[in-house]
Amino acid sequence: MYDSNPVKRGRLGSSTRVAAALALAGLLGGCHPDQKLSASADRQKQLYAYCMQCHQADGSGSKLAGAPNIGGLDAAYVELQLTKWKDGVRGAHPDDAEGLRMRPMVRTLKGADEFKEVAAYVASLSTVYAAPALYGDQDNGAKLYQASCASCHGAEGLGNVAMGSPRLAGRNDWYIVTQLHKFRSGVRGSDPRDAQGAMMRPMAMALPDEQAIRDVAVYLSQLKPKEM
Amino acid sequence: MASHSIPAPGHSEPLGHHDAHHEEHWFLKYCWSVDHKMIAKQYMITGLFMAIIGGFFAYVFRWQLAFPNEPVPLFGVVTPASYNMMITQHGTIMIFYVAMPLLLAAFGNYLIPLMVGADDMVFPRLNRASYQVFLISCIILIWSFFVPGGGFGGAWTSYPPLSASASYNLTPSGSTLWLLAVALEFVAFLMGGINFIVTAMNARAPGMKFEDVPMAVWMIVIASIMFMMSVGPLFAGSVLLLMDQNFGTHFFDPRTGGDPVLWQHLFWFFGHPEVYVVLLPALGFMAEILPVFSRKKLFGYRTLLYSSIGTACLSFFVWAHHQFIAGIDPRMANVFAATTVLISIPIAEMMFVFIATLYGSAIQFTVPMLWALSFLAEFLVGGVTGIFLGASGADIHFHDTYFVLAHFHYTFFPIAIIGSFAGLTYWFPKMFGRHLNEFWGKVHFWITVISFNFIWMPLFFTGIMGDHRRIYSFTNFPDLMTPDRVLLREISSVATAIMGLAQLIFFANFFYSMYRGRKAEANPYNANTLEWQCPSPPPHGNFAEMPTVYRAPYEYSHPDRETDFWPQHEPPAGAGALKPEGAH
Amino acid sequence: MAEHRPSPDSEGSGWQPLARSVFFTTTLGAIIVVSVVLFYIFSGGEDYIARLIPALSSYAGDIDHLILLIAALVGFWFFAALFAFFVLLFKYRARPGHKASYLATHEHQLETWIAWPHWLVIACDLVIIVVAVKVWHMVKQVAPPPDTTVRIIAQQWSWTFRHPGPDNKLDTADDIVTIDRLHVPVNKVVHFQLRSKDVLHDFAVPVFRLKQDAVPGRTITGWFKPTRAGAWDIQCAEICGIGHGLMPARLFVETPEQHAAFLDAGAKSAQLPGGQPIY
């Protein structure tokens, strides 16, 4: 359950808090210069602090935490996923261990405005490539990708904003494998409200076997689009 | 130095520098010293420094709890990860790096040789090694805040499987460094404890019988023995946990046959006596300070001694009251509820002894005395609220709520903070040869004690009302965001900030008085115990002439005396001090 | 030197009045303690805690009652000690012309002083232990026969609740699985099977006065009987990682009609692939 109500305040007015804060700040010799985070860039960075324990400061992710690299994802896609988590469309399946870990973290962001800000920040980071964590045949992966996936995710793996399909080039191979399994088993994308999931689930079935999934994942994790 | 016939080990060890009066190199003097007083000061300064870090963390997370989703002044955004890290480190620092070094190590080192009339510890080099290991431990702990992933955030109790696997706690290096730091700290205090016990046993001045030993020494010795007896299981446990974290063993991992509850037993078998390890020295300071400033003999020396030994023994049989609802056999809770509630008996006796000491006294409200008296009043709150938690039925509701925290802080704040301030203000003239400023000392005292009560009284009620600990923001719990609960949290947090600021007064007073304070004479309070019979500050080797003890330490206002004190070392042959008609 | 030691055998001047006042104080204390116990045996004291937080399970009142009993007993000691403390502080403050007395007695006379309050403390302790064990036994050691059973699975950092569905049996096809929302009928004995997938968690419902750790590798059972319909917080009360403060769940105590509606809706959505959560 996501409670989007603004934080309820006690009877101790904001003036008391401001006075106490000022007294502290004054006595200890001035506070941070970035206390007033009105500027959007600062605010984005501040909000991204909630993501950093798992997704890291540079958006490179952490396999340990089950958190993929997210730097360079399209802002609209990130925002859409955060909204899905908030609405219980994604990460609300009992078998989705990583999704259930992400679910409470979305509660640190209060509402659509903050989703937008943090999504913009994620989009501004560049994709951090990681060495393959799995064994896979990249050539076979390329063939399978072009046959089954490229129509939505693009020949260069850059995704398609209009369809809500994310950029896949440079995503962690282990993450792609996990997600494909989740789509195939219905752990992800089977919620009736999940339009993109409904499209993705049959496509995930198109890959013939486990090794095919790995081939595609490894290929994508090393794919560098020409524009870069 | 040769005035007595049987040289005790502490008197006879030739360390060379005692007789060499040349000025030592500053490094040897301040960083490589074997002098127990310098090592005590090293412990003290390190402990005070760590207290600043731990206190700052407390301010940050309290502020976050009262005013969530806003950057904390002087810190910034508190994320769930940094919140967990700060509560963990606050607990670790305040217990292992503030209470232990200040109460046990600093005062133990400083007082034991002076109070028993020795010229140094029995094992001075072991003493130096103890501090150095402790310093390394501090450095490792602070380092762990800055490694990738950040400092350990699995609470100071460090329950596995959370603490055992980086994929659960997300701090791959921080958790190992934390464990390493704590384990090294145990090593340091084991070395210190050996010294305390052996010095008090073997290096006492001639004539000092067991019942002539000042209560502070007794208490530190009992605490050291308790620490030694309880730390073994936890030390073994931390090695197992270290191996679980780094070498792929599964002692605490249920998926492969381990048991996470095992750690809880090992931890609390140490963790509960640990509370008394720091409580007893603080009680010892009270037993020194109360008689001096009430000019009255300590009421019931033996009662106090035996009830503290009783508490020490009983404290080994209560540990599972921390685990009532942790999945242990529910029948076990009945046994531990009984032992836990029974610990109120010796503790109550100690409180009776202190309160009875005030009967018929003449109380001087000096700064150390104010701290000592406030210790009694605040510890009383902590003591009586413990009964609620020991009663297993009530603990179902109170376990891990803010009621527990409030109870714990009402015991631990008197112990660690009030006890340390009482000790620091009382022995400051002896340590530095100068007096603290009395006025600013009182200002600091009143602000600290009043704001302390404003911090924790409200949290008893939020605890009853269902606030659980270690939750970084209550905004996700609709039941917990009612205006009355929010108000109570805000009062507590603002009081925390005020108390933090008040400590600036102490530090200013402390460091100013160290250099500019009024000069102190050898025995400014007309006290009896031996540490006041050598110059302030005492030189290397402490006593110009090693003292001989003739009587118990608390002979104040004796009717046969013209003065209202009777130093332990004053020979009875000095008949001039006796009233002619009072001789018997 | 020994003959000059202050003899513990000399009769001190301050002893007699002290002994008298102690005797009277403790006698008075005994009377107060006994009347407090009697008062709580014959009155329903649980309302005082229920004003702070609602008491909504069958045993919440008993736990509140225990808390108040302890409050009364230790409250007496607390205020008596504090009163004596402040009176002594005022009466014996240092001032011109006032001199401290010297108290020298046999140690066994001091023991007399300690003995009275000592026995009183033990009496209070025994009362507390007996009542605490009684309450504990009722909540944690025995359970009334279940009307329904739910399974609670905690993991980082969410709750999965497995409801038995219309057939009232767990692990059948009509089970209703939800995330972070637990639905139970009012006035029925609910047994729970508590499990954890990864680390320690704790299923805590403050309004029920209920708390139980979830330990990975074990199934821990417990029970509660809600007494009023409504929606309440479930908290995790054992630190379980960075999301510990962010795993609230909601408990819906439902009237028979509401619960029937929940079972209906669950029966329909359970047809979706992958055990779809119903919200």
Q: With the CA atoms of C28, C34, C36 and C38 taken in that order, what torsion angle do they form, in degrees rounded to the nearest 10?
A: -150
Check: CB of residue C63 under 8 Å from CB of residue C209: yes
Task: Copy the structure tokens of residue C267.
Answer: 């029966």
pLDDT in the model for residue B578: 45
Query: Is the per-residue pLDDT at A31 higher than 60?
Result: no
- For residue A156, the distance in angstroms to the closest alpha carbon of chain C comes to 32
DSSP run (H or E) holding B104: none
Which whole number is the average pLDDT over C133-156?
Answer: 92
Q: Label residue C109 by pLDDT band (50, 70, 90).
A: low
Chains that touch B (3 or more CB pairs under 8 A): A, C
* DSSP code at position C272: S
pLDDT in tens, B268-308: 999 999 999 999 999 999 999 999 999 988 888 888 999 99
Q: Do B352 and C114 touch (CB under 8 A)?
A: yes
Q: What is the mean pLDDT of chain B?
A: 88
Closest residue to C74, CB basis, from B254, B384, B571? B384
pLDDT in tens, C175-233: 888 888 899 999 999 999 999 999 999 999 999 999 999 999 999 999 999 999 999 99
Tokens 């066994």 correspond to what residue?
C108
pLDDT in the model for residue C269: 66
Q: What is the mean pLDDT of chain A?
A: 81
Check: CB of residue B493 under 8 Å from CB of residue B66: yes
pLDDT in the model for residue C273: 35
Which whole number is the average pLDDT over C251-258?
Answer: 93
Q: List chain C residues with CB under 8 Å of B480.
A: 233
Q: Label residue C15 by pLDDT band (50, 70, 90).
A: low
Task: Copy the structure tokens of residue B277.
Answer: 């390890």
pLDDT in the model for residue B471: 92
Q: Do B475 and A3 touch (CB under 8 A)?
A: yes
Which whole number is the average pLDDT over B457-476?
Answer: 91
Q: What percent of chain B has pLDDT over 70?
A: 94
Instruction: Name every residue whose Cβ is closer than 8 Å to that of residue B133 and which is 6 or more positions away in sequence.
Output: B184, B185, B187, B188, B191
Tokens 């507390």 correspond to what residue?
C128
Question: What are the C-alpha distances in Å from B91 to residues B95, B187, B273, B316, C76?
Answer: 6, 19, 16, 22, 32
More confident position, B27 or B485: B485
Of A119, A11, C128, nearest in space to B490 by CA? A11
Chain B contact probe: residue of A2, A8, A52 with most B CBs at under 10 A: A8
Which whole number is the average pLDDT over B137-161?
Answer: 92
Query: Is the per-residue pLDDT at C9 higher than 80?
Result: no
* DSSP code at position C52: T
* DSSP code at position B561: B
Longest dimension (CA), chain A: 67
Check: CB of residue A109 under 8 Å from CB of residue A82: yes
- C-alpha span between C239 and B153 (Å, rounded): 9
Q: Classify the C-alpha dihedral A181-A182-A185-A189 as positive or negative.
A: negative
Chains that touch A (3 or more CB pairs under 8 A): B, C
Q: List chain A residues with CB under 8 Å of B78.
A: none
Residue B17, classed as helix, strand or coil, is coil
Task: Copy the structure tokens of residue A116.
Answer: 């937008």
Which whole number is the average pLDDT over A38-61?
Answer: 85
Check: CB of residue C19 under 8 Å from CB of residue C112: yes
pLDDT in the model for residue A10: 42
Check: CB of residue B444 under 8 Å from CB of residue B509: yes
Q: Pick the residue from chain C with its C-alpha nearest to A54.
A: C242
Backbone angles phi and psi of B322, in degrees to 5: -80, -10
Q: Label residue B227 by pLDDT band (50, 70, 90).
A: very high
pLDDT in the model for residue C6: 44
Range in A122-131, A199-208, B94-103, C43-52 with the lowest mean pLDDT = C43-52
Question: In terms of DSSP H, where are the helices of B391-482?
Answer: 392-398, 402-412, 419-432, 438-464
Range in A72-86, B488-502, C186-200, C265-279 with the lowest mean pLDDT = C265-279
C148-155 and C190-196: which strand pairing?
A: parallel
Burial of C267 (0-12, 13-18, 19+ CB in 10 A): middle
More confident position, A127 or C38: A127
pLDDT in the model for residue C115: 73
pLDDT in the model for residue C104: 64
Query: Is the per-residue pLDDT at B544 higher than 80?
Result: yes
Check: CB of residue C186 under 8 Å from CB of residue C56: no
- C-alpha span between B138 and B135 (Å, rounded): 5
Question: In terms of DSSP H, where are the helices of B247-357?
Answer: 260-294, 301-314, 330-342, 344-357
Q: How many CA atoms lie within 13 A of B486 on its CB side?
A: 19
Beta bridge partners of C57: C226
- C-alpha span between B404 and A204 (Å, rounded): 51
Instruction: Name every residue whose Cβ is closer than 8 Å to that of residue A49 and which is 6 or more positions away in sequence.
Output: B76, B77, B79
Interface of A with C (CB under 8 A): 1, 53, 88, 92-95, 97, 100-101, 103-105, 107-108, 185-187, 190-192
Task: Copy the structure tokens of residue C161.
Answer: 């609740």
pTM of the predicted model, to two decimals? 0.88
Chain C, 147 to 166: residues with Cβ < 8 Å from chain A are: 153, 155-158, 160
Query: Is the per-residue pLDDT at B153 higher than 80?
Result: yes
Chain B, 417 to 456: residues with Cβ < 8 Å from chain C are: none
